[in-house]
A and B are shown apart, each in its own frame.
Chain A
Amino acid sequence: MTLLVPAATEPSCYSRLTNEWICGQYLVDRQDEIVDATVEHIWITVAAVVFGVLIAFPLALVARRYPRLESTILGVSTGLYTIPSLALFPLLVPFTGLTPTTVIIGLGLYALTVLVRSMLEGFRSVPAEVRESATGLGYGAGRLLLRIELPLALPVIMAGLRVATVSTVALTTIGTLVSYGGLGNLIKDGVDTNFRAELLTAAVLCVVLAVLFDALIVLAQRLLTPWTRGVGA
């Protein structure tokens, strides 16, 4: 990323000597860049979490259906987690290149660990008698899953989703290694050019995004599972 500031009259915080942490002029001048980075951060995070959920759900179903496979599935998804993020991206690059796909797949694989576990735990939290009564009422396996088990497992699954999403927001910054790190790109640029205002802005935005995502998921959970209200999931 290049540091091209339309330098007509530079405010004091652009000066290398003062290098202030907070700089209103920076927010105005580099608005487009900040918005772009934030948008990139958001869509990479969302894509990664969605990718993680899409993979985790069938894995959780398989693990539940075939208990013998459970430890293997959990083991592999946990094993993925021990690979550092900065190492995971390079390992994916031969297959996906220096593209956002690398970041999305990498982060999705990380989210997998938490998601598979919380899904399994969620299904396990559905009381056996509930399952039996539903079967007794004539629910088939598919309808039982979608209409009974999934809604009841939702609070536990959503708790896992919160954890996965918040850490994915934080981890997306590492995507800067392959140039797709959203706000991480600004942080990297801020370090390289020793520009404090840029660095602090990006860091604060990261935390704000994490909090917003967390709040959104809590809200979604309230709407989706009205019966748990007041029971603290």
Chain B
Amino acid sequence: MNIFAETWAYLTDPANWQGAGGLWARMLEQLLLTGTALVLAVVIGLPIALWLGHLGRGGFLAINISNVGRAIPTFALLALLVTADWPGTASFGPYGRAGLATLIALTLFALPPIITQSYTAIREVADDVKESARGMGMTSSQQFFRVELPLGLPLVMSGIRLALVQVWATATIAALVAGPGLGRIITDGFYRSNYPQGIAGAIVVALVALVLELAAAGVQRALDPTPSASAAADPVRESTTTGG
């Protein structure tokens, strides 16, 4: 029981939350990383996936991207990026040392769930609905913006939500290459045999993950134009790439 008491003591000591390497600062770093990587992945992946879904082409590519992504350990990718000449371990603005490498690794990691889910979302809008839209004389872009996108939105959202939680969870591994984020609290604790610190860091990371998950679920529900259809959007179907 001793270790739990020590963990509690670590968590309740304000000194551990303040300062450059404190819990708040590390949490902020990781939130910034997560947010930026997610935005980048959405900006890059979403248009491509939606476009392919609208055309009904490239399904093989969209599905297999996520299968390949699953097989590549993000830690290995991150390690390769950090050791390479570019982007390397150089510090990158507010993202800290190895920040750019971490950002690239996380963005690549976030792409598969977003691409696969968004592609599927648009692709799986019922054919008769698409046909009636065409029958009403809608142009291709009208079909996309007025029919396919609204109907596919819940699934698109669930892909982004999934990516958010996965990126947050995976961002901790930046610490294995001495990068930014809450993972540092964990690895520092471990490498110095200060296990209460490691466990305290883990608890904070897990709690924020749960908060993010709940918040994302809330946002998804609020933005869902067809609440009844959201039951079909299964966020965990694709949730298979965390961490690695």
Bound together: yes
* CB contact under 8 A between A82 and B240, given known A91-B202, A93-B199, A184-B73: no
Which residues 141-197 in A have Cβ within 8 Å of B in the complex?
163-164, 166-167, 169-171, 173-174, 176-178, 184, 187-188, 190-191, 194, 196
The answer to whether B82 and A167 have CB atoms under 8 Å apart is no
Contact with B along A77-110 (1 / 0, CB 8 A): 0110111111111110110000000000000001
In the complex, identify which listed stretch (A30-38, A125-133, A205-213) lies at the interface while the others stay far away.
A205-213
Chain B residues with CB under 8 A of A164: 240
The answer to whether A191 and B79 have CB atoms under 8 Å apart is yes
Query: Which interface residue of B79, B170, B201 has the most chain A CB atoms within 10 A?
Result: B79
The answer to whether B170 and A187 have CB atoms under 8 Å apart is no
The answer to whether A170 and B213 have CB atoms under 8 Å apart is no
The answer to whether A174 and B240 have CB atoms under 8 Å apart is no
Chain A residues with CB under 8 A of B239: 78, 81, 113-114
Q: Closest CB of chain B to A74's CB: distance in Å?
A: 8
Chain B residues with CB under 8 A of A187: 73, 75-76, 79
A157 to B201 Cα, complex, angstroms: 35
A59 CB within 8 Å of chain B: no
Closest residue on chain B to residue A19 by CB atoms: B83
Chain B residues with CB under 8 A of A114: 236, 239-240
B198 CB within 8 Å of chain A: yes
In the complex, identify which listed stretch (B56-64, B138-146, B187-195) lies at the interface while the others stay far away.
B187-195
Closest residue on chain B to residue A107 by CB atoms: B243
Q: Give the residue of B71, B169, B176, B240 whose beta carbon is less than 8 angstroms from that of A84.
A: B169
The answer to whether A207 and B83 have CB atoms under 8 Å apart is no
Closest residue on chain B to residue A84 by CB atoms: B169
A117 CB within 8 Å of chain B: yes
A89 to B183 Cα, complex, angstroms: 12
A199 CB within 8 Å of chain B: yes
The answer to whether B73 and A163 have CB atoms under 8 Å apart is no
A203 to B176 Cα, complex, angstroms: 15
The answer to whether A203 and B183 have CB atoms under 8 Å apart is no
Contact with A along B218-244 (1 / 0, CB 8 A): 000000000000000000110111111
The answer to whether A178 and B75 have CB atoms under 8 Å apart is no
Q: Give the residue of A176, A191, A214 whose beta carbon is less than 8 angstroms from that of B71.
A: A214
Closest residue on chain A to residue B213 by CB atoms: A82
In the complex, identify which listed stretch (B116-124, B129-137, B149-157, B203-211) lies at the interface while the others stay far away.
B203-211
A202 CB within 8 Å of chain B: yes
Q: Give the residue of A91, A177, A196 whose beta carbon is less than 8 angstroms from that of B176.
A: A177
Residues of A near any B CB (own CB < 8 A): 74, 78-79, 81-91, 93-94, 110, 113-114, 117, 163-164, 166-167, 169-171, 173-174, 176-178, 184, 187-188, 190-191, 194, 196, 199-200, 202-203, 206-207, 210-211, 214
A–B pairs, 8, beta carbons within 8 Å: A84-B205, A86-B187, A87-B169, A169-B71, A188-B176, A199-B76, A207-B71, A207-B73
